[in-house]
Amino acid sequence: MSQAVQERIAFLTEELNKHNHLYYVESNPIISDFDFDMLLKELQDLEAKHPEYASELSPTKRVGGDITKKFQSVVHRYPMLSLSNSYSEEEIVEWEQRLKKLAEGPIEYVCELKYDGVAIGIRYENGKFSRAVTRGDGTQGEDVSANVKTIRSIPLTLKGNFAADFEIRGEIFFPRKNFEALNAQREELGEPMFANPRNTASGTLKSQDSKVVAERGLDCYLYGVYGDDLPFESHLESVNGVKEWGFKTPLEKDKYIHKTNSIEGIMEFIHFWDKERFNLPFDIDGIVIKVNNYEQQQDLGFTAKSPRWAIAYKFKAERVSTILEEVTYQVGRTGAITPVANLKPVLLGGTVVKRASLHNADQIEKLDLYLGDEVYVEKGGEIIPKIVGVNEAVRSNAAEKVNFIEYCPECNAQLHRRDGEAQHYCTNDLICPPQVKGRMEHFISRKAMNIDGLGAETIDLLYQKGLASSVADLYDLTFDQIVNLDRMADKSANNLMKGIQDSKTIPFERVLFALGIRFVGETVAKNLAAAFKHIDAIAKASYEELIAVDEIGEKIAIAVQQFFQDEKALATIERLKQAGLQFEIEEVELASNKLEGKTFVVSGVFSKFSRDEIKDLIEKNGGKNVGSISAKTSYVLAGENMGPAKLEKASSLGIAIISEDDFIGMIG
C-alpha cells in the first residue's frame, strides 16, 4: 500500500509539473483548468495523509501558505551588479565605439527588454530549486524562496541535460492584467489602490504569507546564467539553452531578444520597442544591450559598480505639469550646492512627486524660473524628477524671479564657483556642518571603513557634542565619551569601540577611497593603490605618473594632486597613520619568482584550474596578467575554445602560445 501511494504521489507530481510548464511557460495547455485542479486536489489529499512522502518541491507548494517572520540575508556567490544607465542614443553609440577599441575581433550584441520588476537570483542543485535571493545591495540579498516557489512560471525541478550546480537570474514582475484585477478588487472592497506594478511586485515578494504571493499571480523571465561548468559560450546560446531545462526565457520569435552585430541593429531594436512597449502585457522601462560572447565579456571586465560589456538604455518618461512653490538649497559632503524645487504634489509615473532637482545655477537661469510658475516635470530615467520646462503664458506679472543664492544656507560662508564647472561650492569645509558630517559618513560607510555600530545618527550626535569634527577624531574616542551619548548602552558602546578598532585592518585601497578625494571612487582607489603601493608615493606623484595609471585621466589626476597639496588633508592623514590605519599595500609573499618579468594573456577554458586560479598563480609566481595581446606580451596561455582573433594576433607577433600543462611545468 505504501509503495502504491508513493508511486501515485510521484506520478501526480510529474504530471502537474508538466502541465504547469505547458500552461505558464509554453502558453500551450493540453488539459482543462478543472482537470488540473482535480489532479492537484488529489495530490494535496495524499500528501496530507502521508506527509512522509511529500516533497519540499511539490506542485502543492505553488498555492503558498508558508509564513516567514524574517527574511534571512544571503551573500551572493556572484555579485549582482546593476547596469550603467544611458538616457540618450548618443551615449549608446559612444559605448559601442568604446567597446570596439577594447575588445578583440568582431563583436556581437544581444538586445533585450529591460523588465520593470524585481531582480532575482535562483540557485539549482542537481536539477532542483535550492534558493531564491533578491539583489539587495548587490553583495547580499534576502532569501525569499518560499514566496518565489509560488510563481508558477519558475520551475521547481528541471528537465533535460541541465548543469549540476548553477544560478539563474532574471526579473520578477506583475503582469498588467493581474495588477489591474488586484486594484479593481481593492477598489470594490474600499481599500486603497496600489500605485504601480513594479512597487507592488516588490512588496508582494516580501510578503510574510506566501499564500498572498500565490494569489496575486506574479510572473518571471529568466535570462542570466552563472556557474563554473556551464555548456554555453555566449549569452544568447545560454538563454535559448536553459529554455530546454524548463525555464521561461525571452524568445526571439516574440522579438523580446535579438542578436545583432551593428549599432544600426541596436537602434532598430530600441526604436521598435519605444513605440511598441505599451502593447506588452507587462511594463518595461528600457532596453538592455550586452556583448554576446562570454570570453569577450571576461576580457572587458567590470568597474566597481557595473560590467563594461553591458549597458541599459532608459526610455523617456511621461511629463506632467505642476506649480513651483519654493526653491531650497542642499549642501553635499564636498560642499557642492544643489538647488531643489519644492512643488505642489503631483502624480508622476505612479508616485507622488513633491520635489525635483534643479542641478545648478545655470539650469535655473536656463529655465528662467519664477516662484509660482507652472512647470513641466519628468523623471530622469523614470527615477529622479526634474523640471524640463515652464509655461510662461500663465506667469503672474507679480511673480518673483528665482536667483541663485550667494551664501551657504548652512554656515553663511560666501559661495565659490570653480572655473569651468557648473556647481557652486561652500569652501568653509572645516566648519560647514553638512560637509563635516558628510565626510565622516562617507568614511565609515560599508564600502569604505565599514565601522560597525556607527551610523549617520551617531555621527550627528558626536558632532553636536563636539566629540568629532573630522574622521581622525573618531580614533580618539573613549568608551566613556560614547556610552554617555543618547540611546547608547554599554553593549552598543563596546560594539562601536570594537568597530573602530577593527577598521584599522581595512586594506589600503579602501582607506584611500574612504578619504573622499574628489572623483576617486572604488575602482580608481584600487588602481592608485596597486600602482603606487603607499600613500606617500601617491602624495608625491607627478601629473604624468598619475595619468599613466589605468582609468585615470586629467580630471582625476588634478583632483588627487590638489588633495595632497591641502595641509589640512595631510594633517588628517598623519593622525590616521598614528592611529594605525593601513596606508600601504601589504606585499603578498610570492610562492616563487619563476615568472618574474613575464606577462601573460590568459584565454579559453581550462581543465585543471579556473581562469581566475591561473591568474592568481601567475601573480604568486612573480608574473603579470594583461588583458590584451601586444608585442610586449611574453606568453599566451591558451585553453580550449580560445578566440581565433587572439590566436591569429599572437601568431602574427611571434608570441609563444603555451598550454595549461606547459604552464604547470613552468611553475613546478
Q: Which residues are catalytic?
A: 114
**Closest by alpha carbon to 111, among 337, 264, 5, 300?**
264
Question: Long-range contacts: 265-270, Cβ < 8 Å, 24+?
Answer: 265/109, 265/111, 266/92, 266/96, 266/109, 266/111, 267/89, 267/92, 269/111, 270/89, 270/92, 270/111, 270/313
What CA–CA distance (Å, rounded) separates 12 from 18?
Answer: 10
DSSP per-residue letters across 438-492: HHHHHHHSTTTT--TT--HHHHHHHHHTTS-SSGGGGGG--HHHHHTSTT--HHH
Residue 463's identity, in one-letter code, is Y
What CA–CA distance (Å, rounded) separates 95 from 93?
Answer: 5
What CA–CA distance (Å, rounded) separates 410 from 330?
Answer: 9
Q: 369 and 356 in contact (C-beta within 8 Å)?
A: no
CA 255 from centroid of its chain's CA atoms? 26
Residue 274's identity, in one-letter code, is D
What CA–CA distance (Å, rounded) separates 5 from 11?
Answer: 10
Q: 523 and 556 in contact (C-beta within 8 Å)?
A: no
What CA–CA distance (Å, rounded) separates 477 from 495?
Answer: 13
Q: 470 and 516 in contact (C-beta within 8 Å)?
A: no
**Closest by alpha carbon to 135, among 78, 192, 174?**
78
Quickly tell me which residue has 526565457 as its cell: 249
What CA–CA distance (Å, rounded) separates 415 from 425?
Answer: 5
What CA–CA distance (Å, rounded) separates 544 from 476?
Answer: 38
Quickly tell me which residue has 571576461 as its cell: 298
Q: What would you measure as the largest C-alpha separation in the chain, in angstroms?
A: 91
Q: 628 and 602 in contact (C-beta within 8 Å)?
A: no
C-alpha pair distances (Å), 638 with each of 26, 293, 416, 601 = 41, 17, 56, 8
Non-local CB neighbours of 598 within 8 Å, separated by 6+ positions: 622, 623, 624, 634, 635
